[in-house]
Structure 1
């Protein structure tokens, strides 16, 4: 079913000593969704991923994976997950293939065909038969991905998966994720510091700051703040224009530049045409105007600023 929940994170809290790491975290991921997890270092991203994979235990809250409660049905819940968290640990004296065969021998019902399929998804090519001690960080990341994909998983968890990957490797990872979603209906939960990568790969993004979820946004769809528009008005009198803008309700002056001004407008209550007329009436020549589209990095920076000012 398209809308079935693959991951449900309910009221998760975690402290390290007396320091809160996660504070009442709630969100869910549905089948076929690629969900980005964005936040500063120390925001709690890796801690939450370790809780979902049962590497850590929460102080409060519940994790449900494919309908199985992690606390009471741990083995059945974890059968649905593949994960690469931090740098994958492998046996350096074995080849990549030998590592995968050894891991498969400890898991249930992993076939030779499933191992070979996982190797194809990793894009390691002939390197799979070289000893892991010769691997670069990027190659270890690829081998970790192959390990995570062995078996019939429903959720793939990737913590900073592009570490050590060259630009071609990043493109291959994106293609692999797209193939997994399209052909197998796998859901993906992925964290990264490179926000342009998250924006290109994900269908939605969960933003976290100081252990709290501060926003969840769909990528490529109208967000809940779509009535707020960033507009750049081009004029040869930017300082004079900025003084007039300051006196118009429901408009926020963002920046004054040599060739114009940037403003934030609530289009539900303020018509852009009225702004242009107000400038024209004060004999300010408007040479043009355009909407400034915010990328994920812009949104993230603004959220962090707004959140820290609360």
Structure 2
């Protein structure tokens, strides 16, 4: 990947299920160390796009470029740059969290014990890492899923609704971890949610999607917050659609639409 080149470049992605459009000409990019939120209601197309980026699904049109590698023609080289947690993380319940991580590491090349321990530290599982996964809550599985995604030389971390199952402290710890990964290691993060307020404080920009179409890409206001209130100004060609999504978000005190 050349300097200045996007870590993730999504180009003209469209996807249909039968004759029904799921994604419609989706375009955006994510730079090195950038934290990009992906916000839309349930069923808007968030998980479908993430599955396409991780090669779990294939698009009908368009291409995905990861660290300069075309996902279609250089699949293995592209995917080795990604760590992802899509929907509920898959893991072996009869093994401990640590054993699950060791198993994954054994399938990769040159993963050291120190790298595994670092992934465990980022998960904030503490002593729970040595308990069997079948005893884990959903939130603990999300934490272990994050550790799994971080094993290996990851340039892009993809997190699909990662706050599901986390208590308020867990959400704060996750945000701190994401900030650390971006600032200290230069990891780019693509994180989805249907609740903007859960992720906006850590994002450098947010991509809004509705009915499979990107309705806005907004760089977050970096002005200091006053009285814990943050203002965000959104320019979009579809103000009614944007307003409909924003109205569903908790803690929105004032919404003004200007045409």
TM-score by length of 1: 0.72
* Partner residue, 2:62: 61
Call closer, same or farther: CA 1:296–1:107 in 2, change over 3 Å.
Answer: farther
* Partner residue, 1:30: 31
Mapping for residues 126-205 of structure 1, pairs under 5 Å: 126-205=127-206
Write the distance in 1 (CA, Å) between the matches of 2:63 and 2:190: 17
* Partner residue, 2:95: 94
Write the distance in 1 (CA, Å) between the matches of 2:8 and 2:158: 11
* CA contact 1:2–1:32 (8 Å) conserved in 2: no
- Give the superposition deviation at 1:301: 8.8
Write the distance in 2 (CA, Å) between the matches of 1:96 and 1:163: 19
Measured on the aligned residues, the alpha-carbon RMSD in Å equals: 2.2
* Partner residue, 1:304: 242
Write the distance in 2 (CA, Å) between the matches of 1:202 and 1:91: 32
Call closer, same or farther: CA 1:168–1:305 in 2, change over 3 Å.
Answer: closer
Q: Which whole-Å deviations, capped at 9, do the CAs of 1:264-304 have from their partners, x for residues lacking one?
A: xxxxxxxxxxxxxxxxxxxxxxxxxxxx964589x999543
Unpaired stretches in structure 2, ≥5 consecutive residues: 224-228, 246-259
- Give the superposition deviation at 1:112: 1.1
* Partner residue, 2:79: 78
Call closer, same or farther: CA 1:296–1:155 in 2, change over 3 Å.
Answer: farther
- Give the superposition deviation at 1:195: 1.2
* CA contact 1:2–1:30 (8 Å) conserved in 2: no
* CA contact 2:204–2:220 (8 Å) conserved in 1: yes
Write the distance in 2 (CA, Å) between the matches of 1:293 and 1:138: 28
Do residues 220 (structure 1) and 158 (structure 2) align? no
Write the distance in 1 (CA, Å) between the matches of 2:210 and 2:131: 41
Instruction: Give the secondary structure class of the aligned counterpart of 1:5.
Output: coil
Write the distance in 2 (CA, Å) between the matches of 1:86 and 1:116: 24
Write the distance in 2 (CA, Å) between the matches of 1:62 and 1:96: 35
Write the distance in 2 (CA, Å) between the matches of 1:75 and 1:175: 30
Instruction: Give the secondary structure class of the aligned counterpart of 1:26.
Output: strand
Write the distance in 2 (CA, Å) between the matches of 1:296 and 1:140: 36
Structure holding more strand per residue: 1
Instruction: Give the secondary structure class of the aligned counterpart of 2:144.
Output: helix
* CA contact 2:205–2:219 (8 Å) conserved in 1: yes
* CA contact 2:13–2:59 (8 Å) conserved in 1: yes
Write the distance in 2 (CA, Å) between the matches of 1:167 and 1:84: 20
Write the distance in 2 (CA, Å) between the matches of 1:9 and 1:101: 32
Where in structure 1 do 4 or more consecutive aligned residues deviate above 6 Å?
none
Q: Which whole-Å deviations, capped at 9, do the CAs of 1:110-144 have from their partners, x for residues lacking one?
A: 11111110000000000000000000000000000
TM-score by length of 2: 0.86
Q: Which whole-Å deviations, capped at 9, do the CAs of 1:231-274 have from their partners, x for residues lacking one?
A: xxxxxxxxxxxxxxxxxxxxxxxxxxxxxxxxxxxxxxxxxxxx
Unpaired stretches in structure 1, ≥5 consecutive residues: 223-291
* CA contact 1:2–1:31 (8 Å) conserved in 2: no
- Give the superposition deviation at 1:206: 0.4
Q: Higher RCO, 1 or 2 (CA under 8 Å, sep at least 6)?
A: 2
